[in-house]
Amino acid sequence: MVKIQDESQSVIEAHGIIGDMRTAALVNDQGSVDFFCWPEFDSPAIFCSLLDTPEAGIFQLAPQIADARREQIYLPDTNVLQTRWLAPQAVVEITDLLPVSDHDDELPLLIRRVRMVSGSATFLMRCAVRHDYARAVTKAHADGEDVCFDAEGQPGLRLACDVPLKIADQAACCTFTLAEGESAEFVLGAVDDVRVKVGCSDLALQRTVHFWRQWLAQSIYRGRWREMINRSALTLKLLTSRKDGAIIAAATFGLPETPGGERNWDYRYTWIRDASFTVYAFMRLGFVDEANGFMRWLRGRVGECCEQPLKLNIMYSIDGRSDLPETELSHLSGYGGARPVRIGNGAFDQVQLDIFGELLDAVYLTNKYGEAISHEGWQHVTQIVDHVCSIWQEADVGIWEMRGEKHHFLHSRLMCWVALDRAIRLASKRSLPAPFSRWNETRQEIHTDIWENFWNAERGHFVQYKGGTALDGSMLLMPLVRFVGAKDPAWLATLEAIEKSLVRDGMVYRYRNDDNAMDGLQGTEGAFAACSFWYVECLARAGQVEKAHLEFEQLLRYANPLGLYAEEFDCYARHLGNTPQALTHLALISAASFLDRKLDHQKPQWQP
């Protein structure tokens, strides 16, 4: 039996991601695929040792080289990952990819290629497929030279390779030795997929590399942080459904916001808020097709919700399902012991009034830079805006999906104002029919309400919710959505208060919750990465460009070695939460784009 050291629970930032815009897999820097949902982003996991032990499913492939340095890189301008081992006696590289198919109906393939760059080494391989989040009993059996994995009621999988395989403990295993210049290849896919065979990886690699590079070449960004922007763009594209146009929040579930705690959620779904922000990021970089694709997907959801009574969910599955019941996987020990591990998301039916603002902002931008809104689309917009006019004064759970009591949150009011503002702007620019008087009156009412009920004169800053005194990282969006001037004294006072209360070494917390009264959960979370980049942009817009530049450079150092970010940072700037997080990467793109312009304007003029 092949024995491989249990190194499955690598730290979150020690992972690269590969994907084909249908699903994605995480590969740690020890050569293991320790998280993989198949065949869709939100399908049951077949490898989830990241949340348990190798017995929960893993694909381990590693050279037996003592004291080797390990590193991971992407092939330039692609989502093709290489893991490398460097030692005096040998250099090894493993190339991992999910080939981008020419056909939407083809199921994903996982291709792993190991090459001996110099020297020689012995390799241990163990592929333990565990169906249905390791809840199903998976059986491995030989089929010729391949090994197949089956479980009742689950899709079968096949592993093909060019070295002899054995079966041990319902896993495919082998030990093999490669000399300099030699290679081996492993292909995992559907049991009846004719592409699951060795000898085809060269063509799949060439086509996949070409796809990613051709796509990225459309970017119009030419600023000073091009490498980080490109990686963020590639990550956002990887999290976008090629077939449906939906954009998921993150590739994973169950990675904790609190080490060992209960703040563990499933982010493999499309949040209206996060995806709408992503539209803005794509457009800033010139990727109009992706923005148009998401808006087409969104039309289907809006069309459904415009059937009376109007009900737009905050999140949906990629295929548009709105019912996402939350289930606990009690058999998994959790990442670092963080339990419960949850799939589904109980927040799917929460009331969060801010989503109307993010949605209408995305509609406005898409109409401005992408496809013009249709007649039917405008009818849907008018229904939504009329709905906002009637419900904007209600309490909700807010942007952070509090599981405590409802409040009148500032951010929710702010985004209701955005919904009215963008609809009025769109109607004016396109000469579309609209009840301008009523909409404008409501917009002004919301504006007045925010200044009268969310500005705390005693404390000298805006507050998180009506009647409260606390601050909130979502306030950083106030100047970004153009509700308040970036240099308005009231806003600068609020920014200063946020710095004193929520900022630690450039890392910004969403809120302080030491008494657990607000969100109804035990423990405290880390600093929120997206808020940290919003803070940089606020500094730059406020004219504090040098400070913004320094804070931005610090945040760039908190990325993992591949330029990826999870949802949060702990006090050491190590990663917490699901990864890679779309909201973090799009906030990085926005901050970098604006800071670039400000720095260019500050360039000294050469004098003879």
As a three-state string, the secondary structure of 185-216 is EEEEEECCCCCCCCCCHHHHHHHHHHHHHHHH
DSSP 3-state assignment of 575? strand
Closest C-alpha among 219, 66, 81 to residue 589? 219
> What would the 3-class secondary structure string for 276-303 be?
HHHHHHHHHHCCHHHHHHHHHHHHHHHH
Whether the per-residue pLDDT at 5 is higher than 50: the answer is no
The reply to whether omega before 309 is within 30° of 0 (cis) is yes
| Mean pLDDT, rounded, of the chain | 93
CATH of the domain spanning 15-214: 2.70.98.50
Answer whether residue 9 shows pLDDT above 60.
yes
Residues 111 and 201 sit within 8 Å (Cβ to Cβ): yes
Whether the pLDDT of residue 2 is over 70: the answer is no
DSSP 3-state of 145: coil
Phi and psi at residue 202, to the nearest 5°: -60, -50
Q: What is the mean pLDDT of residues 67-86?
A: 97
CA dihedral 209, 214, 216, 222 (to 10 degrees): 120
3-state secondary structure of 425: helix
Mean pLDDT of 165-181: 98
Residues 267/272/274/277 CA torsion (nearest 10 deg): 160
pLDDT at 516 over 70: no
Least confident span in 279-293, 433-447, 580-594: 279-293
Q: Are 301 and 316 in contact (CB under 8 A)?
A: yes
Q: Which two tokens stand for residue 407?
A: 């409040």
> In this predicted model, what pLDDT tens digit does every residue of 295-315 receive, in sequence order?
899 888 887 766 666 778 999
Burial of 156 (0-12, 13-18, 19+ CB in 10 A): middle
- Rg of the Cα trace of the chain? 25
Query: What is the predicted pLDDT for the residue at 428?
Result: 96
What is the number of other CB atoms lying within 10 angstroms of the CB of residue 104? Answer: 11
The mean-pLDDT minimum among 28-32, 217-221, 253-257, 305-309 falls in 305-309
DSSP label at 78?
S
Q: How confident is the model at residue 603 (pLDDT cuts 50, 70, 90)?
A: low
pLDDT of residue 1: 38
Q: Which CATH entry fits the domain spanning 218-599: 1.20.140.10, 1.50.10.10, 1.10.10.2840, 1.10.3720.10?
A: 1.50.10.10
> Does residue 176 sit in helix, strand or coil?
strand
* CB-CB neighbours of 297 under 10 Å: 23
Section 117-140 average pLDDT: 98
Tell me how far apart the alpha carbons of residues 95 and 84 are, in angstroms, rounded to a whole number: 9
3-class DSSP state of 91: strand
Question: E strands within 38-108?
Answer: 45-47, 58-63, 69-74, 81-87, 90-97
CB 275 within 8 A of CB 583: no
Closest CA to 181 of 135, 117, 137, 236: 117
How many alpha carbons lie under 13 Å from residue 445 in its C-beta half-sphere? 14
CA–CA separation, 574 and 561 (whole Å): 12
Q: Model pTM?
A: 0.95
Banded model confidence at residue 408, pLDDT cuts 50, 70, 90: very high
Separation between Cα atoms, residue 448 and residue 335, nearest integer Å: 46
Distance of alpha carbon 440 from alpha carbon 428, whole angstroms: 12
Q: Is the pLDDT of residue 499 over 60?
A: yes
Q: Quick one: pLDDT band at residue 605, thresholds 50, 70, 90?
A: very low
**Number of other residues whose CB lies within 10 A of the CB of residue 407:** 18
Res. 3: pLDDT tops 60: no
pLDDT per position as a tens digit, 323-340: 999 999 999 999 999 999
Domains of the chain, residue spans: 15-214, 218-599
Give the span between the Cα atoms of 570 and 576, in whole angstroms. 7
State both tokens at 578: 């699901």
Secondary element (H or E) of residue 511: none
Q: Are 312 and 356 in contact (CB under 8 A)?
A: yes
Instruction: Give the separation between CA 8 and CA 476, rounded to whole angstroms.
Output: 38
| pLDDT tens sequence across 529-572 | 999 999 999 999 999 999 999 999 999 999 999 999 999 999 99
Max CA pair span of the chain: 79
Burial call 69-100: b when 16+ CB within 10 Å, e when fewer: ebebebbebbbbbbbbbebeebbbbbbbbbbb
Give the H/E segment covering residue 415: helix 410-430
Confidence of residue 514 (pLDDT cuts 50, 70, 90): low
